[in-house]
Amino acid sequence: MRTQVAIIGGGPSGLLLSQLLHTRGIDSVVLERKTKGYVLGRIRAGVLEQGFVTLMEEAGCADRLHAEGITHDGTLVSYGDELFRVDFKEHTGTPVVIYGQTEVTRDLYEAREKSGGKIEFNVENVVIHGADTETPYVSYAVDGEARRLDCDFVAGCDGFHGVSRQTIPLDVRREYEKVYPFGWLGILSETPPVNHELIYANSPRGFALCSMRNENLSRYYIQCSLSDKPEDWTDEAFWQELKRRIPADQAAKLVTGPSIEKSIAPLRSFVTEPMRWGRLFLCGDAAHIVPPTGAKGLNTAASDIHYLYRGLREFYESASTDGIDSYSEKALARVWKAERFSWWFSSLMHRYPDQSEFDLKMQVAELEFLRSNKAAQQAMAENYVGLPY
């Protein structure tokens, strides 16, 4: 089989790239290791930057997002019983949209299917060949049968555990990583959200986040130990702990109910450089991971896709390699800013096992500064709604 762009990974990055290329008549094939059901079963963050929404519009996939997404003009931050609001609209003129990544992925699959997009599921043993030549190809197997996909370019959209990043030789690749000494225990429950905007809570018992998917579907998280298992936490224990970490007036109005999903995610900051090797381009989680505080994961994947899509268009439409030649540099410049913001916000909001009394005082001083200083709020708002592409 032959295509113009071979896309490894059918998560949001791979699907969005494939759909955007399709709008310009550029052919691609998506190779996904799992089934569609498995991909859609993963629960991830649900805050979209305007830049992401614009890309979904460009891809022709934004109708449901516009109909069902909830616009948020700000967010709440608490520490102890103090609660303050950072107004995105006032500081940036831009809101964010609450719409789950699962729904984004579902919309993208639907669009690919409608336009006859080629997606191979259950692929095994994906190997990228000749990425540093002008004739790369991908070998893989489906049901034990070997296949080969010849292409002009390979987009590595296969997440943190994929093969694409490993294809870049070690003497070219540099990786930067920070692993945080805690995780997030998250639950999804069919209850109305405690507040119409998100609440990020710093408490002496650890971080908590009150988020949502819609008016009757709430997503809550509490910082937990890395040795905890979801089954160690009954729903009752989770709700009790959450109530102790958010301001008392919020806890008093929290509606609880059975969890319909419960899972623990570790927190990591990770970047690989460069994001391009020859005709292989890394996008999204394949190249970088952020801790979830601030919901930058999906949004940072989207800016990669924006740069790569523009670069590939320039190549096919104007025979120019400028866009693809500057892909890694441009993508990384924005990635590092998202890394900084996610690291800053995580550091501000969590309890660390080795935190000294001094460190705790610094957190409170910074939270008080953020609460009372317009410039600090503006900096947070600009980052939260998404820095320009």
Token pair recorded at residue 239: 């709700």
Is residue 52 within 8 Å of residue 138, measured between CB atoms? no
Whole-angstrom Cα distance, residue 75 to residue 88?
Answer: 8
Annotated catalytic residue 200: yes
Going 164 to 167 to 169 to 172, the CA torsion angle's sign is negative
Which among 140, 142, 197 is positioned nearest to 163, based on CA atoms?
Answer: 140
Q: For residue 185, list its beta bridge partners.
A: 222, 264
Which of 136, 284, 311, 386 is the binder for ligand APR (CB under 6 A)?
A: 284
Annotated catalytic residue 22: no
Q: Among ligand APR, ligand PHB, none, what binds residue 197 when CB lies within 5 to 8 Å by partner kind?
A: none
> DSSP 3-state assignment of 376?
helix
284 binds ligand PHB (CB under 6 A): no
Nearer to ligand APR among residue 239 and residue 309 (C-beta): 309
Token pair recorded at residue 168: 């870049």
Q: Among ligand PHB, ligand APR, none, what binds residue 46 when CB lies within 5 to 8 Å by partner kind?
A: ligand PHB
Contacts with 358 (C-beta within 8 Å, 6 or more apart), sequence order:
none
Annotated catalytic residue 118: no
Is residue 13 within 8 Å of residue 21, measured between CB atoms? no
107 binds ligand APR (CB under 6 A): no
Whole-angstrom Cα distance, residue 383 to residue 160?
Answer: 23
Shortest spacing between CB 90 and ligand PHB, in angstroms: 20
Per-residue contact string for residues 61-90; x = within reach of ligand PHB by CB under 6 A: ------------------------------
Which of 46, 74, 159, 183 is the binder for ligand APR (CB under 6 A)?
A: 159
Describe the crossing of helices 101-114 and 12-23 by its angle, rounded to 10 degrees.
40
Which of 30, 48, 295, 302 is the binder for ligand PHB (CB under 6 A)?
A: 295
Which of 3, 7, 13, 350 is the binder for ligand APR (CB under 6 A)?
A: 13
Which among 12, 22, 72, 350 is annotated as catalytic? 72
294 binds ligand PHB (CB under 6 A): yes
In Å, what is the CA distance from 180 to each residue of 34, 188, 292, 366?
Answer: 28, 23, 11, 20
Annotated catalytic residue 384: yes
Binding site for ligand APR (CB under 6 A): 8-14, 31-34, 39, 44-45, 101, 123, 126, 157-159, 161-163, 284-285, 297-298, 301
- The residues annotated with a catalytic role in the active site are 72, 200, 292, 296, 384
